[in-house]
Amino acid sequence: MNICVIGTGYVGLVAGTCFADSGNDVICVDIDAKKIEKLNKGEIPIYEPGLQELVSRNAKEGRLKFTTDISCAARESLICFIAVGTPPGEDGSADLKYVLDVAKSIGMHMNGYRIIVDKSTVPVGTADKVKAAIREEVKKRSKDYEFDVVSNPEFLKEGAAIEDFMKPDRVVIGTDSVRAAEIMKELYSPFMRKTDRLIVMDVRSAEMTKYAANAMLATKISFINEIANLCELVGADIDNVRRGIGTDSRIGFEFLFPGAGYGGSCFPKDVQAIVRIAGEHGYDMKVLKSVEEVNCRQKGLIVDKILEHFKRERSRVQGFKGSSPSPTTRPLEGKVIGVWGLSFKPKTDDMREAPSITIINRLLDAGAKIKAHDPEAMDEAKKIFDSRIEYIQDNYEVVKDADALVVITEWNEFRRPNFEKMKKIMKTPVIFDGRNIYDPHEMRSMGFTYYGVGRV
C-alpha cells in the first residue's frame, strides 16, 4: 500500500519505518527541513534500539522516503497517518492545532478516496474535528472526494517500540466504516500472523482506550509508590510486598516497581488530559488527580532523603565540635552529588517530564555540585541544564570524590557495577537508589550507607 505518515517524531518515525519494513511504500513528512535533511542522510533524531538499522535498510531499498512536501504525500497515499504532537496546554488539555493543520493540508491536496488515521494521542471527539476540517477544505475546492477518519492509537513502549509494533499486544481500530476497517485489517495483517489481536470499535471508544490504558498504568505506578512510602514508615520491605501481591494473576507484576515516579511523553500528559476531559463534562476524576499528585510528590522524595541525610551528618560533626547547627538555605553547599541516569526510563534518550529534572534542579537549588552520566540522554540533558551540571562520559568518574551517588534511571550498566572500586574512589560511600536496583543488605554489608524506596 501507499502510505504517508505526517510527523516524524517518536510515534511517526517508528510507525512509518515498521510499515515500510512489511513491504509498504511509505512517505514520512515533517515541516522541520533540518530533521528531514538529517533523515535523508541516515541520521536518526531519537534513540530507539533497532530503529537506525530499520530506517537505513528500508530507505536503501526504496520503501521509505522523507520529505517536507505534504501535498505530494497526500496525493500519492491511500492512507494518511497523522502523528504530530499534541502538547498539553497550561490547563492540561491537549493542543490540537498541529493535528487540525495537517487535516486541512490533506483536504487541500487529496485527489481521491483517503483514509485519514489519527495516530497522535487525541481527546475523545477529535476525529469529528478532523473530519470537519478535511470536509471544509475539500468543499472549498468544489470536490466531492470520499474519505474516512480512523482512530488508531499507539501503545508503544519507548526502548521496546520496534518489538511492540511488530508483535503488538493489540491493535485498536476505531471506525464506523466497513471499507476503512477492511483496509486497515489488510495493512496490519503482517503483524497478526500468530493470533488476531486487531480490535475494531467505534471511533470515540478507540480514542478513549488510549487515555484509559495510560491512566491505568500511571495509577499502578503511583499506587506502588504510595505503598512503598508506607512501608518505610511501618518497617516493611516493598520488594517483599510487591512479590506478595504481584503473584496474584488479577494484579500481576507489570508497572509495580516503586521509584522516583513516572515521566516521559505519555503518562504525565495523558493523565492531565483525561482529568481535563472529565472536567469539561462535569465529572471529577478524583483517582487520577491523586495519581498525578502522588507522582509529583514522589519525584521530590529522594531529595528529601538526601537533605535529611546530610542534615544528620552536619549535626553529628557539629556535635563533635561542641557547636550548634546553623540553619542554611543552601544545605548542600560544597557537596558533590553523582547522578546515574537522566532519561525518564532506560533504552531511550527521552527526558520529557523525567524525574531527573526535578531531582537535579532541587539539588542545585540546595547548593550541590552535580556530576551526571547517562548512556544516551546527555545531549538532551544539555538542552535542559546547560552548563549548570557537569556531564561525565564514564560512570565511575561520576562517583570519584562524590559525597553521594543518586541512581535515577535503571540502565543495565548500573545494575552490577564494581562496588569495591566505587567505595574506594567515593569521598563517602552513600547511595540513594531511586529505582531499588540494589539489595539493601548487600550494600550495607559492603560498607555503603544505602537508601532505597520503601526498603528496610
Q: What is the pLDDT of residues 117-146, one digit of tens each?
A: 999 989 999 999 999 999 999 999 999 999
pLDDT tier for residue 92 given thresholds of 50, 70 and 90 = confident
Hey, which bits of 89-136 come out as E strands? Answer: 114-118
- 295 and 266 in contact (C-beta within 8 Å)? no
Rounded to the nearest angstrom, the gap between the alpha carbon of residue 85 and the centroid of all alpha carbons in its chain is 13
Sheet bearing 198-201, strands edge to edge: 64-67, 25-29, 2-6, 79-82, 114-118, 147-151, 171-174, 198-201
Nearest to 257 by CA among 409, 40, 53: 409
Q: What confidence tens digit (pLDDT) does each residue in 397-428 have?
A: 999 999 999 999 999 999 999 999 999 999 99
Nearest to 295 by CA among 256, 255, 254, 267: 267
Q: Is 331 left (phi over 0), alpha (psi -120 to 50) or beta?
A: alpha
| Whole-number Cα distances in Å, 308 to 10, 303, 304, 315 | 39, 8, 6, 11
Three-state DSSP state, 140: helix
Which residues, 6+ apart, have CB-to-CB distance to 223 below 8 Å?
Answer: none
Q: What is the reported pLDDT for 87?
A: 83
Asked whether the predicted pLDDT for residue 68 surpasses 70, the reply is: yes
Lowest-confidence pick of 89-98, 278-287, 429-438: 89-98
By CB neighbour count within 10 A (0-12 exposed, 13-18 middle, 19+ buried), where does 201 fall? Answer: middle
Asked whether the predicted pLDDT for residue 319 surpasses 80, the reply is: no
Sheet bearing 336-340, strands edge to edge: 390-391, 369-373, 336-340, 404-407, 430-433, 449-451
Asked whether the predicted pLDDT for residue 316 surpasses 80, the reply is: no
Q: How many residues does the chain have?
A: 456
Q: What is the reported pLDDT for 190?
A: 94
CA dihedral 185, 19, 117, 110 (to 10 degrees): -110
- 113 and 146 in contact (C-beta within 8 Å)? yes
Query: Which spans in 4-113 are helix H?
Result: 10-21, 33-40, 51-60, 70-76, 97-109
What is the average per-residue pLDDT within 65-73? 97
| Cα gap 6→69, rounded to integer Å | 10
Lowest-confidence pick of 54-63, 86-95, 162-171, 182-191: 86-95
Q: Average pLDDT of the chain?
A: 94
What is the average per-residue pLDDT within 332-349? 96
Lowest-confidence pick of 76-90, 117-131, 262-276, 324-338: 324-338
Kind and range of the H or E run holding 65: strand 64-67
Please identify every residue annotated as catalytic: 266
Q: What is the reported pLDDT for 321?
A: 60
| Cα gap 364→223, rounded to integer Å | 29
pLDDT tier for residue 323 given thresholds of 50, 70 and 90 = low
Q: What is the reported pLDDT for 249?
A: 95
Kind and range of the H or E run holding 172: strand 171-174
Q: What is the reported pLDDT for 219?
A: 98
Looking at the chain, the whole-number percentage of residues with pLDDT higher than 90 is 89
Asked whether the predicted pLDDT for residue 313 surpasses 90, the reply is: no
What is the average per-residue pLDDT within 370-378? 97
Nearest to 405 by CA among 340, 335, 312: 340
Asked whether the predicted pLDDT for residue 328 surpasses 90, the reply is: no
What is the 8-class DSSP label of residue 189?
A: G
| Cα gap 107→110, rounded to integer Å | 6
What is the average per-residue pLDDT within 4-24? 96
